[in-house]
Structure 1
Amino acid sequence: MELQKIKPKHLSQQIKYIYILRSHATEIIPKPHMLIPDGTFELILNFGDAVYHTDQQQEAIQRPTALLAGGFRKQFSLHYAGHIHMIGVVFNPVYQNMILNDRMDIYSASLIKAEQVLGNTLNTMIDPLPDLSNTEHLREHIENYFMKFFTDQHQGVHTENLQTAIEMIQRSKGNIDLSKLSSRVCMSTRNFRRVFTETIGISPKEYIRIIRSKNILHLTRKGKSIEAMAFELGYYDPSHLIRDFKEISGTTPRGYVDQLNTIDESFMRVSQYARL
């Protein structure tokens, strides 16, 4: 399994990273790819065999070959039917609503056919990608396509405030109060909650829980005890931490880490859980 991360050059504020995921010719991935939400939306292009999305209700849906997905609140899994070849563009949560020019909470936890929101011009970006073996050319091609979505005139009035709030949540590892966030960006709690949800696609409380959960995974992999994690991340007690993590993942932190497959391991290294 090969996972390659490509850093944006011109749209580094708007795009977190571009990735290429490929399986080797004889490689078989028997176990599902388990994911927990990360608070972002991404464009996912599938050039390999079919991929099936399964939520916590165990309903399996075949993913479109080009989809926009994100805003998930609970764990889901991917099942690969054969050869894997995907290219993904992961957006900065603060800027992702500029892609759709709409409220992101409308599209949360959905598998959206990308052509429905980006139009037929998307094919002009997709078609050359399989032949672009040079990652620099691939990055440039993708960034050129998205440049039109992130012009200055489309800059949101709350962009800087939301970026500040996101960074505060990440630096605190999710151990932060909603009133402190809204006060820091000079907004009422009610207005901050509304603006955040419409722009990011999930509520501030849900985003805080996601960041906490990612740090729980990071600390679990480092061998930290539940008691030490609870103290570091601001939980009342270890049982509260486990309940909170189960709510989003369906299992305990150790149980989740123990069931990871090779794709999960690769994505964990790319994503850098502690700083997402």
Structure 2
Amino acid sequence: RVNPQLSTLQDITLKHLYRAENGANGGGKNMHGKNGKDIIIKIPPGTIIKNAETEQVLKDLTGENESYVVVKGGNGGFGNARFKTQQNTAPKIANDGQLGEYLKIELELKVLADVGLVGFPNAGKSTFISKVSNAKPKIADYPFTTLVPNLGIVKYGNYRSFVMADIPGLIEGASDGKGLGSQFLRHIERTKVLVYLVECIDEEIYENFVTLKNELKRHNPELIKRPSLLLLTKTDLIPTELLELEKIAKEIPIVQISSVSGQNLNDAIQAIAELIQSQTHDPEIPAD
């Protein structure tokens, strides 16, 4: 069952076998046996349930409190009282019933967010989302600090808000699985808007942007068709007049920011909000 308070599958991975409670035996005087209790596994919105053997998608759970019955319990059968007749008032036969079902499943999470942050490790994604939303990600000066997506609610204007996802950092070759890239990339498949973050202190700004874009394209070409924005991060560390942005500005809108000093963060949020509002329908979700 979907629990909107959850954002990862971490708690579920601690246990690999879920077995519901057995029912109890019936008794004399037409006493029915007690039913076993259901097991309800709580999952975050955006969880896909698959048959582990066939890879068939059984259910895609996105709505709050939405649920799906993976397997059903057994049938306790009928006692001898069920077979009682006028001719045979004390039958010595009974029905054995049926065993409960068993199924091996896989759970895959694709986070539900309006905006996905895409960038290399240490590009400033976690710092940015911590400054503009209620998210509190782990932040440190070393690669792959973020190992799971962080979701944050960004509030702007008069009682408006959107959900932003900080996707773990990508590296070149992510679409081929390098650096757990294929696991990270799936989380942006449901986002309406993509925001690329590139450090301005790197001399290869354009090349880094193209690399990120190519990794998304290789994962699924539909992704690069989404409305997008480029945030140049850490602009407090270099004079902006030294940046050569003409080439990249022809491809994508740019906002230069510093999450540390707060420079242009409001401009970035406004630009992102306008991109979200320009979306008249949900994005096409790539097929598995």
Relative to the length of structure 1, the TM-score reads 0.27
- Could you say which structure has the larger radius of gyration? 2
Higher helix proportion: 1
Higher relative contact order (CA 8 A, sep 6+): 1
